């Protein structure tokens, strides 16, 4: 069986926002595997560096440099390596770059190669990608619970809402049934919003609606109304991604037409959690405020998962700081925050060692690549968020999960 990498071709493509990103074809003789890399709007300051051209074309967001790095630096360096040794390849790429945040080659360039390599190995082995990932991570595959982002705020829309994502979480033994529940509730929400007049059903970057509302309580009332009208009261819970760094200004939080101290914001969250069926709250505070994260986790962590995204950026060092501070109890796993599949698996393992939950996540600027669907199943992470049940780049992940469910 021939497993060596024989050719690598990188190209610039466009993501779901029409912004350039990188796609890589990896070859072992005639066998080809392709992977593309997403991009976020809300980006933690400690995330691995996404290399952009900063030239006139595409308003500075081109990725010609990252493409050139793959074609002229990475390919000659990895030619002849076995795609079966994911860890060796990823570690070699990290060393080749030589910076803590992959600033030389670009995390987007490195990740595209890393993901394509995993897909190539699964093709050569003639096994599904999720099974290959399961073998790499030494985990048991399982289907996840989906978190559907149905109202978009913050940096994902032009809404007045400070909170970035309002999600519905169907509880079902079957992913197929959970998807149906999510889709029906999404359409019921659309029906409710249509009565509010023009533009109420416009959608944001992740397919969620962008209604003309300004407060968190308005959004939560709309969700509970839609869930009840769809017939799923008690069967669908609510989750939020505050992405609070985006509304943190001069030491305070500007939310719902008010300016709050961190202690007042803790109290606000606590009231919301008591009033609504919220089971998950992501990035409730500024990404450096481990103390407030810890305070909220201590107060509500037994019944609600406090998720670290910008706080952790899928980075082992950041996670270790959070562990010492007892700052959260769930990792949001984004492969493009860290830059290689191996590092993402290591972050997952550390989270599980701490008995944290893990949610695998898309980005607001996505592609049609469904890699994270196989990743969440292969790791057995148990939770995924990939936007609304709307827009093909989101549904590519959910539809892949339907296919996987037929095999498991």
Q: Is 50 a catalytic residue?
A: no
pLDDT computed for residue 42 by the predictor? 56
Segment 55-77 shows an average pLDDT of: 97
pLDDT digits (tens, 9 = 90+) for 92-114: 999 999 999 999 999 999 999 99
Q: Is 334 a catalytic residue?
A: yes
156 band by pLDDT with thresholds 50, 70 and 90: low
pLDDT digits (tens, 9 = 90+) for 189-247: 999 999 887 677 888 889 999 998 889 999 999 999 999 999 999 999 999 999 999 99
pLDDT computed for residue 280 by the predictor? 98
pLDDT computed for residue 157 by the predictor? 63
pLDDT computed for residue 196 by the predictor? 82
pLDDT computed for residue 348 by the predictor? 98
45 or 286: whose pLDDT is higher? 286
pLDDT computed for residue 310 by the predictor? 93
Query: Is the pLDDT reported for residue 47 higher than 80?
Result: yes
Catalytic residue, candidates 61, 155, 262, 334: 334
Average pLDDT of the chain? Answer: 95
Instruction: List the chain domain ranges.
Output: 7-126, 137-407
Catalytic residue, candidates 50, 184, 206, 393: 206
Identify the CATH assignment for 137-407 out of 3.90.550.10, 3.40.50.300, 3.40.50.620, 3.20.20.120. 3.20.20.120
Query: Is the pLDDT reported for residue 270 higher than 70?
Result: yes
- Give the per-residue SS3 of the chain: CCCECCEEEEEEEECCCCCEEEEEEEEECCEEEEEECCECCCCCCCCCCCCCCCCCHHHHCCCHHHHHHHHHHHHHHHCCCECCCHHHHHHHHHHHHCCCCCCCCCHHHHHHHHHHHHHHHHHHHCCCHHHHHHHHHCCCCCCCEEEEEEEECHHHCCCCCCCCEEEEEECCCCHHHHHHHHHHHHHHHHHHHHCCCCCCCCECCCCCECCCCCCHHHHHHHHHHHHHHCCCCCCEEEEEECCHHHHEECCEEEECCEEECHHHHHHHHHHHHHHCCEEEEECCCCCCCHHHHHHHHHHHCCCCEEEECCCCCCCHHHHHHHHHHCCCCEEEECHHHHCCHHHHHHHHHHHHHCCCEEEEECCCECCCCCHHHHHHHHHCCEEEECCCCCCHHHHHHHHHHHHHHHHC
Q: Fold for 7-126, please state it.
A: Enolase-like; domain 1 (3.30.390)
């Amino acid at each position: 069986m021939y497993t060596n990498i024989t050719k690598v071709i990188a190209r610039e493509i466009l993501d779901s926002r029409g912004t350039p990103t990188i796609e890589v074809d990896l070859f072992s003789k005639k066998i080809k595997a392709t992977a593309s890399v997403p991009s976020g709007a809300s980006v933690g300051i400690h995330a691995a560096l996404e290399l952009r051209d900063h030239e006139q074309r595409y308003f500075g967001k081109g990725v010609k440099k990252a493409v050139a790095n793959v074609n002229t630096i990475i390919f000659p360096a990895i030619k002849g390596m076995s795609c079966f040794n994911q860890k060796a390849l990823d570690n070699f790429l990290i060393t080749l770059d030589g910076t803590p945040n992959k600033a030389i080659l670009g995390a987007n360039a490195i990740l595209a190669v890393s993901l394509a390599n995993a897909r190539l190995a699964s093709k050569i082995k003639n096994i599904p990608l999720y099974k290959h990932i399961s073998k790499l991570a030494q985990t048991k595959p399982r289907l996840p619970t989906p978190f559907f982002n149905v109202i978009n705020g913050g940096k994902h829309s032009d809404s007045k809402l400070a909170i970035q994502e309002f999600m519905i979480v169907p509880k079902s033994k079957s992913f197929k049934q959970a998807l149906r529940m999510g889709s029906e509730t999404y359409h019921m929400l659309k029906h409710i919003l249509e009565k509010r007049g023009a533009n109420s059903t416009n959608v944001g970057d992740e397919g969620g609606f962008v209604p003309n509302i300004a407060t968190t309580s308005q959004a939560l009332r709309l969700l509970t109304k839609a869930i009840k009208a769809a017939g799923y009261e008690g069967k669908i819970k609510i989750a939020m991604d505050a992405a609070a760094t985006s509304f943190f200004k001069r030491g305070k939080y500007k939310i719902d037409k008010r300016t709050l101290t961190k202690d007042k914001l803790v109290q606000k969250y606590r009231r919301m959690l008591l009033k609504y069926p919220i089971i998950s709250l992501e990035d409730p505070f500024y990404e450096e405020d481990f103390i407030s994260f810890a305070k909220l986790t201590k107060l509500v962590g037994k019944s609600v998962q406090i998720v670290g995204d910008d706080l952790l950026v899928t980075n082992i060092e950041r996670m270790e700081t959070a562990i010492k501070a007892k700052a959260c109890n769930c990792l949001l796993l984004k492969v493009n925050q860290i830059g290689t599949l191996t590092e993402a698996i290591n972050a997952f393992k550390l989270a599980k060692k701490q008995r944290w939950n893990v949610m695998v996540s898309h980005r607001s600027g996505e592609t049609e690549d469904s890699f994270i669907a196989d990743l969440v199943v292969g790791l057995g992470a148990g939770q995924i968020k990939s936007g609304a049940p709307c827009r093909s780049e989101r549904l590519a992940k959910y539809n892949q999960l339907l296919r996987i469910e037929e095999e498991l």
